[in-house]
Amino acid sequence: MKRILLAGLAGLLVIPSMTLPAIAARPPRPPAMESVITMLVDGWLVIETDGGVLDVGIETDIPARLREDLDRVVRRWRFYPVVIDGNARRARSPMRITLATHKVSEGYSITVDHVLFPNPEGTSVAGVIDNGSVIISTRRRVMPEYPTELLRGRGVEGAVLLAIRVGRDGRVAEVIVRQSALYDVSGQDQVLRDVAELLEDSALQAVKRWKFNVQLKTDAPDPSDLTFLQQVHYTLEGPKQGARRTDSKAAPTLWRMEVRTARRPIPWIKDDLEEALAGVSDLRGGEMLPAGNRVRVAEGGAGDPVM
C-alpha cells in the first residue's frame, strides 16, 4: 500500500491509498461520488444573546497556524439566539468542525466541510441518547455482515451513516441511508457507487432488526424526537459501530481520504432541521446523535475558507 504526501500540507497530511477490485457492473447512473480528505476538530464556543460569538476553544491537537486560522473563522460566525424558557440566553456549546482539503493551483486549501453542535447530554457512545423529550437506549443489535462480493479482491473499508426513527414500542419504524463513504480508495465512479451500495444494503438489512428501549418525557413526541443518526463502520475485520478516527477529542488529529455519496434528505425531518444534521464524515467512535439541536448557525459555517 503506497503512501502519498500531499504537497502544500506537509506535516499535516499523510494519506494511504489503494485501488478497488472490480465487481459486476450495474446500469449506468449519474455520478454522485465525491473524493475528499477530511479531519475532525472538537472544541466549544460561547454564544451571546444577540447571536455573536463571545469565546472559542479548540480541544483537538492541531498545528498552531491551523488553530489560529480556525479560531479567527469561528469568531466571525453568527447564530440564531439560543432561547430557553422564552428568553435569549448566553450559551456555551460543544462544537465539532469537519475540515476538508481541496486541490488548488498552488497546492491544497482547507475549508469548513460541516459543523455540529452536539448536546453533551444527548450524544452517546454507549447506546443511550437523551434529547430532552425521549430517552432511547439500545436493547438488541444485529451486526451487519461484510459483503462477500468485496472479499474476492483486497477488500475495502468504509462507513454507512443511517437515520433511524424508532416507534414507541422500540422497533425500527423507518431507516434510510443518510450518506456512505469508502476509505482510501480510487476507481471508476460507477464501481465506487456499486461498492457503496453493497455496504448500504448490508447495513439496512441488519438495522431493521434492531430494538430499543424508549422512555417518553412528553405525550406527543415529534418524529425528530424519535430519530437519531448511527454510523456502521466496515473494516476488513468486520463491521463496527463508529469511525476509524481516534475516540479522544484531544488526541492528535487524523486526516482521512474518503470517497462519499451525496447526503440524502430524511423524509420525516423538517427541512430547516435536516440541513444541519451530520454527514458520514462528522462522527467519531460509535456516537449516536439525536436529530434535534438547539444551536443553529445563521451566517457562516460550511464552505468557509480556513487556510
Inside any domain, residue 305: no
pLDDT digits (tens, 9 = 90+) for 88-138: 999 999 999 999 998 888 888 999 999 998 876 555 556 788 888 899 999
> How many separate domains does the chain show?
1
Q: Which stretch of DSSP H or E encloses residue 111? A: strand 107-116
End-to-end CA distance of the chain: give it in Å, rounded.
30
Inside any domain, residue 297: no
- Using DSSP, state whether 159 is helix, strand or coil: strand
pTM: 0.83
pLDDT digits (tens, 9 = 90+) for 31-44: 468 999 999 999 99
Inside any domain, residue 28: no
Inside any domain, residue 143: yes
Provide the residue range defining the domain that includes 139. 3-21+33-292
Inside any domain, residue 159: yes
Inside any domain, residue 306: no
Distance CA(246)–CA(249), nearest Å, equals: 8
Inside any domain, residue 298: no
Phi, psi of 94 (to 5 degrees): -60, 155
Residue 22's pLDDT is 54
Distance CA(55)–CA(44), nearest Å, equals: 8
432488526: which residue's cell?
209
Inside any domain, residue 7: yes
Average pLDDT over residues 253-268: 90
Classify burial at 178, counting beta carbons within 10 Å of its beta carbon; exposed 0-12, middle 13-18, buried 19 or more.
Answer: buried
> Which DSSP string corresponds to 246-302?
-S-SSSBP--EEEEEPPP---TTS-HHHHTTS--GGG--TT-EEES--S--EEE--T
428501549: which residue's cell?
213
